[in-house]
């Protein structure tokens, strides 16, 4: 039986084996499939789709008409913008080479893994299998075809890194000593390897 400790709108379609965490809200005409897990304090917007077995951490937000296909995994605090698509078929076909319709046994789903705090902008498409790193930001309308590093800002089709972003979601500015500064929190970051960034420990 579904654990519905959150709010489920009467028009939403939530499978009996789905788990909805405390404080979460499933809005109008959304669909949550079998064995999906929605963490605490999440929001699933109007018309959104959460696929079979999808695992969503706490404090996530999936905006209207986003499509989160299995076996996607969303870490804590992930934001999925309106009309985002997380794919699950690397070689999509409706039929086999002999013309017969494809069945569930004729393909192997692959997923998009989105790590803690990352944000996917409106109308973006993430082509599985990929990993979107912690606190990364995917600009609206992007097509992501390869892994995105932690704290990276990527835009375009195919998406390319154009900068770095902090946990507050604002672009970081490079300092004379080579570190990167968040203009909102005052937190400093430093590059730990080519195309990788890390938050400096507070002294």
Could you read off the pLDDT of 46-70 as tens digits, one per residue?
Answer: 999 999 999 999 999 999 999 999 9
**Mean of per-residue pLDDT scores for the chain:** 94
**Domain segments of the chain: what residues?**
3-165
Phi, psi of 4 (to 5 degrees): -110, 65
Residue 203 scores a pLDDT above 50:
no
Under the banding of pLDDT at 50, 70 and 90, the label for residue 1 is very low
Instruction: Tell me: pLDDT of 97 over 80.
Output: yes
Q: Which CATH architecture has domain 3-165?
A: 3 Solenoid (2.160)
């Amino acid at each position: 039986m579904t654990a519905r400790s959150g709010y489920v709108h009467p028009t939403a379609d939530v499978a009996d084996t789905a788990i909805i965490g405390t404080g979460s809200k499933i809005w109008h005409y959304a669909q949550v499939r079998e064995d999906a897990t929605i963490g605490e304090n999440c929001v699933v917007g109007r018309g959104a789709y959460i696929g079979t077995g999808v695992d969503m951490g706490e404090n996530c937000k999936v905006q209207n008409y986003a499509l989160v296909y299995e076996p996607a995994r969303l870490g804590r605090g992930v934001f999925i913008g309106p009309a985002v698509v997380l794919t699950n078929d690397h070689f999509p076909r409706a039929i086999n080479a002999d013309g017969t319709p494809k069945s569930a046994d004729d393909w192997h789903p692959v997923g998009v893994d989105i790590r803690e705090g990352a944000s996917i902008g409106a109308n973006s498409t993430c082509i599985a299998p990929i990993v979107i790193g912690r606190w990364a930001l995917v600009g609206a309308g992007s097509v992501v075809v390869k892994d995105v590093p932690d704290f990276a800002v990527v835009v375009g089709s195919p998406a390319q890194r154009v900068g770095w972003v902090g946990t507050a979601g604002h672009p970081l500015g490079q300092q004379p000593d080579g570190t990167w500064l968040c203009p909102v929190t005052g937190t400093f970051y430093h590059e730990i390897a080519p195309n990788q960034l890390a938050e400096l420990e507070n002294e």
